[in-house]
């Protein structure tokens, strides 16, 4: 089955810096890659997703890049703010199959 | 549009008991997936139901089961509870039909199960 590796497990940055979280996947059939943000005690919230027919997607301060050949994808957050502090999860699935395989998560801490 | 809801939010049970958790999806969503979240194992897929049929199943023992009703609401059941079943159980809903932009999953707030 699919296996998703996520790095780093923790990331500390200063407010205004950029943050990058990287994930690799094993199943070349995977073609849908969402990112979720989970604040303490709250549900995972989708922040951005990418499908395998594109290499990059942006939404304001957040961007995701996908390299299908290398089977890795990354989340980029620019101009970080304290409210970006949370655990971020990457995931992979095959379109049409509602089975998400998650990475172990990255705890992002943004210091003022 | 109302989000995904789960009941109850918290449960305390003892070993050997069984438990039933409920999930109501976003209106119009026909797919409900269940995940177990623990500090050690992270988020792990349990199973997915679409139109009252189990469509996918994760690598969990048979003590974990589920069902889906005609209104797309779903329940999961855990029998003969073990200490290791203590976790946050999350459900997520989507349209589930494989067409573009229908596979996005939206999570409920979860049920925190503690097994003593």
Q: Give the closest of A1, A99, A105 to B42, CB-based.
A: A105
Q: Is A10 exposed, middle or buried (0-12, 13-18, 19+ CB in 10 A)?
A: exposed
Q: Backbone dihedral region of A84: left (phi > 0), alpha (psi from -120 to 50 degrees) or beta? A: alpha
- Residue range A58-102, pLDDT digits in tens: 999 999 999 999 999 999 999 999 999 999 999 998 866 678 999
Interface probe for B, chosen from A98, A101, A103 (most Cβ of B below 10 Å), is: A98
Indicate yes or no: CB of A99 within 8 angstroms of CB of B48: yes
Tell me which chain A residue has its CA closest to the CA of residue B42: A104
Distance in angstroms (rounded) separating the CA atoms of residues B84 and A33: 29
Say whether A100 and B98 touch across the interface (CB within 8 A). Answer: no
Taking only the tens place, the pLDDT of each residue in B45-103 is 999 999 999 998 999 999 999 999 999 999 999 999 999 999 999 999 998 776 656 67
> Cβ contact (<8 Å) for B106 and A46?
yes
């Amino acid at each position: 089955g699919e296996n998703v590796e996520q790095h780093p497990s923790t990331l500390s940055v200063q407010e205004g810096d950029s943050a990058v979280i990287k994930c690799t996947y094993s199943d070349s059939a995977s073609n849908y890659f969402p990112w979720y943000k989970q604040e303490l005690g709250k549900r995972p919230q989708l922040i951005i997703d990418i499908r395998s027919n594109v290499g990059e997607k942006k939404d304001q301060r957040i961007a995701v890049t996908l390299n299908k050949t290398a089977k890795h994808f990354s989340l980029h957050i620019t101009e970080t703010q304290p409210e970006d502090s949370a655990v971020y999860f990457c995931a992979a699935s095959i379109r049409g199959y509602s089975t998400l395989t998650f990475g172990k998560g990255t705890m992002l801490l943004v210091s003022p | 549009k109302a989000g995904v809801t789960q009941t109850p939010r918290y449960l305390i049970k003892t070993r050997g008991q069984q438990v039933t958790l409920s999930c109501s999806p976003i209106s119009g969503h026909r797919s409900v997936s269940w995940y177990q979240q623990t500090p050690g194992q992270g988020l792990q897929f349990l199973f997915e139901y679409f139109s009252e049929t189990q469509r996918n199943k994760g690598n969990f023992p048979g003590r974990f089961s589920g069902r889906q009703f005609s209104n797309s609401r779903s329940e999961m059941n855990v029998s003969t509870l073990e200490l290791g079943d203590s976790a946050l159980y999350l459900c997520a809903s989507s349209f589930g039909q494989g067409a573009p932009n229908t596979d996005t999953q939206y999570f409920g707030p979860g049920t925190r199960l503690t097994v003593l």
